[in-house]
Amino acid sequence: MSSPTPGAPTDDDADASPASGTFGRKIGLVAAASAGALLVGELITLVQTVALARLLSPSEVGLFVAGTVLTTFLTNFVEGGLRSGLVHREDSIEDAAETVFRVTLLSGFAMSLGALALSPVIGMIFDNRTAGLVAAATSGSLLLFAFTNVPEAMLQRQFSVKRRVIVGPTVSLTFAVVAVAFAARGWGVWSMVIGSYASFVAWVLGVWLICDWRPGRGTFSFRMWRELARYGFPLLLGLVGARLKIMAESVIIGRGLSEAALGQYRYAQRIAEIPERVIIEVGAIALFPAFSRIAGDPERLRSAFLRALRFSMIGAVALTALMLALGEPAVVIVFGEPWREAGAAVVAMAGVGVGKAVASVSEEAIKGAGRTTLINWCTATELGLGLILLIALIGPFELIGVGLAVSITAITVAILELSLAVSVIGVPFKELLGAIAPPFPAAAVGFAVTLFLEHEVLHSDAHSLLIAVGMLVLDTLTFTVVYLLVFAVVAPATVKQLFAVSGRLLRKLTGRAK
């Protein structure tokens, strides 16, 4: 079989234009594939997280978090917002891809050296030599990350289904298998370091195997770099602001409380961010290129924005209410009694789900419309307010205070980002309220019923593991039934539309598989 001609349409991008009848189909396929891949990935991650929670102590997990603070932060400078610029680009794609590839590869190499040189500082900040050694050991991951940027952008432009169903689950499985295997052999924090490298290698190999783009097809251009950087710079600032906030949280929790508290926080954060991962993986990945291509049609952009916001809220509000009702007992049952503090923090961070759902859809719309400078307001708010609340609440409330600071910040930023998106797109308040409000009454009733059932009747975390899991499943099923019944009464038209869309996506995905 001959290889695709450079720049020619492939199976993943043919006819995927706003005027094409298959444009919506492409988005639907990516959403459906992403949902399936996310389910597999989350199940793998859950098993891996539970296994590591049983094999490693909160302090060992905290050491990994502390040691990777620097590399996580510098990751943003490797990409530099250029990947988003490449996705948004409408012409000279080969030259843009070549430019992004060379620049990010060079920055990845530079950031790796910088992380290695600064690793002793991490040891001093956390007053722990092992944290510094972990920082040094993980510095090379920045160079590996640099190799993913262009293929990831090209696959996102093409609404690639293969990227969603192959690469994501493979990366999750690789980390899980390697990290758990080494943890079982007593490698402690280093099991997570080795697992991290294995997952990066799987990521690099995966995206390059399914992407048809190769270096050398285009020409590097300083002019092109400036154009891409101009578009992506506000996004870079947003990523840097978010990473600075995470870094500050890690330092403040690690030094102000303990390494064990940092480990508790890390696991609580992973659980609390499940709604965010769902929104990003299932919707936002496809929304950005879709919004970019219909930005010239205001009516179509407004309709697509409201539809995306409506569907994202249905899931995010439900998951947030479920975490409020079951967060603490669920964490204790799954991870064990030593992680109860993480469960309390999950409840405090429940607001992240709704906040990130609104912010994610709004940000993709702003990016698609080309108004990325507006995101600077959100970056400043998230960083400034987040740190102020963290410092104010960690003293009197410790880990729960950290969770409350995260929740309040996420909701505040979501309101700001939504208002900016509405000003760009031009959405009447009545239509906006109609997209956001319907899930809340259903979630409130579901929360009240489930809270009473768990905390007044079942007390699932007080029983043996098998019985406890069964009770937790009963709690979840009860919430789901109550939520859907009330939602069907409050918004029957939306429920019908949701089932219709789900059915079409399932049929399309099944047809694609055949």
Alpha carbon dihedral 323, 324, 326, 327, in 10-degree steps, equals 60
Flag whether pLDDT at 217 surpasses 70. yes
**Average pLDDT estimate for 278-307:** 78
146-201 pLDDT, tens digit per residue, is 999 999 999 888 877 777 778 888 998 999 999 999 999 999 999 999 999 999 99
* Structure confidence at residue 240 as a pLDDT band (50, 70, 90): confident
Q: Which residue has the higher pLDDT, 30 or 51?
A: 51
pLDDT for 336 equals 84
Flag whether pLDDT at 343 surpasses 60. yes
pLDDT for 27 equals 56
In 3-state terms, the chain is what percent helix, strand and coil (to 5)? 85, 0, 15
**Average pLDDT estimate for 87-101:** 89
Q: What is the Cα–Cα distance from 147 to 205, expressed in whole angstroms?
A: 9
* Structure confidence at residue 233 as a pLDDT band (50, 70, 90): confident
* Structure confidence at residue 501 as a pLDDT band (50, 70, 90): low
Q: Which residues contact 493 (CB under 8 A, 6 or more apart)?
A: none
Q: Calculate what percentage of the chain has a pLDDT beyond 70.
A: 87
* Structure confidence at residue 9 as a pLDDT band (50, 70, 90): very low
Q: Which residues contact 66 (CB under 8 A, 6 or more apart)?
A: 122, 126, 128, 131, 134, 250, 254, 259, 262
Per-residue tokens: 377: 């307001």
pLDDT for 15 equals 37
Flag whether pLDDT at 53 surpasses 50. yes
pLDDT for 17 equals 45
Helix ranges restricted to H, 57-165: 58-67, 69-79, 82-88, 93-125, 129-137, 141-146, 149-157, 161-162
* Structure confidence at residue 268 as a pLDDT band (50, 70, 90): confident
460-484 pLDDT, tens digit per residue, is 998 998 999 999 999 999 999 999 9
pLDDT for 1 equals 35
**Average pLDDT estimate for 257-276:** 81
407-451 pLDDT, tens digit per residue, is 999 999 999 999 999 999 989 988 999 899 999 999 999 999 999
Q: Calculate what percentage of the chain has a pLDDT beyond 90.
A: 45
Flag whether pLDDT at 251 surpasses 60. yes
Write down the mean pLDDT value for the chain.
85
With beta carbons less than 8 A apart as the criterion, state whether 27 and 95 touch.
no
CB atoms within 10 A of CB 505: 19
**Average pLDDT estimate for 107-115:** 94
